[in-house]
């Protein structure tokens, strides 16, 4: 344990070391890194929105950084991610919404210690079109809300023309497309509209699924929305930035709180996340974004517990997320896939929070060896966690 922790500090302080490890097996064979070789098998479940990124991270990490760590992330959806985390069937949960007080209370009661949550990545939601002429069309929250409540029905509506004085707008009928499945993307999009437009909040509100106005088209997953956009002339829909980027769709420029029209770029998403006011409990939403920030952005959180893990498991959790948040390669992969990494200051705060994982497991330091060797006891681990720490210890002694 002690070895593991000090090693972690080194990893956190010098991301280059991790990069060096990832560059080849040979170099990682030094005395220092054999000490810290972790062996564990982790399971995580939750949001599907960061899944492509998580899978990439997991692949690189367990191939190049810690071959002894096996991570299995299942993108079962945010809601299921929270449930499985609270039922302690997974080592870490992931969601596009933070745990509220009620969830945290349930977690503390069942596990016998607090849960920690921290953001790991941001993503923007873009408004996409199939018509390439519409690339860069300027919209603000009010016009988007009017389009989705079918008050604006054509692209040459005066409200849109006013925002786009230089554009030759087609007179096509707008066909707004939404996600038909319950989705964090919908939650981010409708949260933005509800915060910015009062009439939208009154009539439709926000949520992962909504009772949309009639005449709209629903699409299953991002792909269904993309099909809805491209099969209807005048189709328009909201999508994850990463998906729209891959599908090569035209995207709208959105007017933010300061009145600046912002293109949905990676930099604009990072700027938005820096504009956001993140409290110490990490329960926040990216609202009222001004400056250079793109205004429709969501966050992905990871949840862990402060007790009840095998030491090896806890070390692996902390090491993996520290690596993902600080390693340059890992962060640039995030950028390539259209996800915005955390800013420097936020990263430090998140790592401080992350290291609270298993910190309440008092006395766990004693039998490090045993815990470290014993990585097959995943299932028992979760069960032991529901009891007091002392009993949890006993449980691992018996193994």
Partner 1 sequence: MSTQAPEAPAPEEPRRSSLRSGKGRMADPIFKWVVAACGTIVLVILALMVIRTTTEAWPVFAKEGFFGFLTGEDWTSGSSRTEITGTYGAWPFIYGTLVTATIAIVIALPLAIMVAFYITHLAPRRLAKPLSYTVELLAAVPSVIFGLWGLHWFLPNVLRPFFEFLGNTFGWFFLFEGPIRGVGYLPAGIVLAIMILPIMTAIIREVIVVHPIDQRMAAYALGSTRWEVLRKVVLPASFSGIVAAAMLGLGRALGETIAVLMLIGGSQSWGSSLFSTGSSMASHIAATFGEAGPEARTALMAIGVALFLVTMIVNILARVIVWRLGRMTGDAAV
Q: Is 212 in the site for partner 1 (CB under 8 A)?
A: yes
Q: Is 227 in the site for partner 1 (CB under 8 A)?
A: yes
Q: Is 220 in the site for partner 1 (CB under 8 A)?
A: yes
Query: Phi/psi of residue 337, each to 5°?
Result: -85, 0
Q: Is 154 in the site for partner 1 (CB under 8 A)?
A: no
Of the pair 207, 363, the CB lying nearest partner 1 is at 207
Query: Applying CB under 8 A, which part among 50-58, 72-80, 237-245, 320-328 lies near partner 1?
Result: 72-80
Between residue 94 and residue 133, which ones bind partner 1 under the rule CB under 8 A? 102-103, 106
Q: Which of 55, 89, 231, 332 binds partner 1 (CB under 8 A)?
A: 231
Q: Which of 157, 181, 292, 380 binds partner 1 (CB under 8 A)?
A: 181
Q: Is 338 in the site for partner 1 (CB under 8 A)?
A: no
N-to-C CA span, the chain: 18
CB of 339 to partner 1, least distance (A): 19
Of the pair 75, 304, the CB lying nearest partner 1 is at 75
Euclidean distance between CA atoms 30 and 119, whole angstroms: 33
Give the contact letters, 285-324, x = binds to partner 1 (CB under 8 A), - = no. Answer: ----------------------------------------
Q: Is 191 in the site for partner 1 (CB under 8 A)?
A: no
Q: Which of 66, 94, 222, 232 binds partner 1 (CB under 8 A)?
A: 232
List interacting residues with partner 1 (CB under 8 A): 48, 76-80, 82-83, 102-103, 106, 175, 179-184, 207-212, 214-220, 224, 227-228, 231-232
């Amino acid at each position: 344990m002690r070895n593991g922790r000090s090693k972690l500090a080194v990893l956190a302080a010098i991301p280059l070391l991790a990069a060096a490890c990832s560059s080849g097996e040979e170099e990682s064979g030094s005395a220092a890194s054999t000490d810290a070789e972790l062996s564990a098998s982790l399971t995580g479940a939750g949001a599907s929105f960061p899944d492509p990124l998580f899978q990439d991270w997991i692949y690189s990490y367990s191939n190049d950084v810690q071959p002894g760590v096996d991570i299995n992330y299942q993108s079962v959806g945010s809601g299921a991610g929270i449930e499985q985390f609270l039922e302690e069937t997974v080592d870490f949960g992931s969601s596009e919404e933070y745990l509220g007080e009620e969830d945290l209370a349930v977690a503390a009661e069942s596990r016998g210690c607090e849960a920690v949550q921290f953001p790991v990545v941001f993503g923007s939601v873009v408004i996409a079109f199939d018509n390439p002429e519409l690339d860069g069309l300027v919209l603000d929250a009010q016009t988007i809300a009017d389009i989705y409540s079918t008050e604006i029905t054509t692209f040459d509506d005066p409200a849109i023309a006013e925002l786009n004085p230089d554009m030759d707008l087609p007179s096509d009928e707008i066909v707004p497309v939404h996600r038909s499945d319950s989705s964090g993307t919908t939650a981010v999009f409708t949260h933005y509209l509800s915060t910015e437009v009062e009439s939208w909040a009154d009539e439709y509100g926000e949520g992962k699924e909504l009772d949309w106005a009639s005449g709209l088209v629903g699409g299953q997953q991002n792909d269904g929305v993309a099909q809805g956009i491209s099969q209807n002339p005048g189709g328009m829909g909201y999508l994850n930035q990463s998906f729209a980027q891959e599908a090569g769709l035209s995207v709208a420029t959105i007017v933010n709180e300061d009145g600046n029209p912002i293109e949905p770029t990676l930099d604009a998403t990072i700027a938005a996340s820096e504009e956001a006011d993140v409290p110490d409990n990490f329960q926040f939403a990216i609202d009222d974004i001004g400056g250079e920030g793109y205004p429709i952005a969501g966050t992905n959180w990871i949840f862990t517990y402060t007790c009840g893990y095998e030491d090896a498991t806890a070390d692996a959790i902390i090491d993996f997320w520290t690596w993902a948040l600080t390693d340059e390669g890992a962060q640039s992969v995030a950028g390539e896939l259209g996800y915005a990494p955390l800013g420097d200051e936020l990263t430090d705060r998140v790592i401080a929070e992350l290291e609270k994982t298993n910190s309440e497991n008092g006395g766990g330091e004693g039998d490090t060896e045993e815990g470290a060797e014993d990585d097959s006891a995943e299932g028992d681990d979760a069960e032991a966690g529901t009891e007091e720490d002392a009993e949890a210890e006993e449980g691992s002694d018996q193994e």
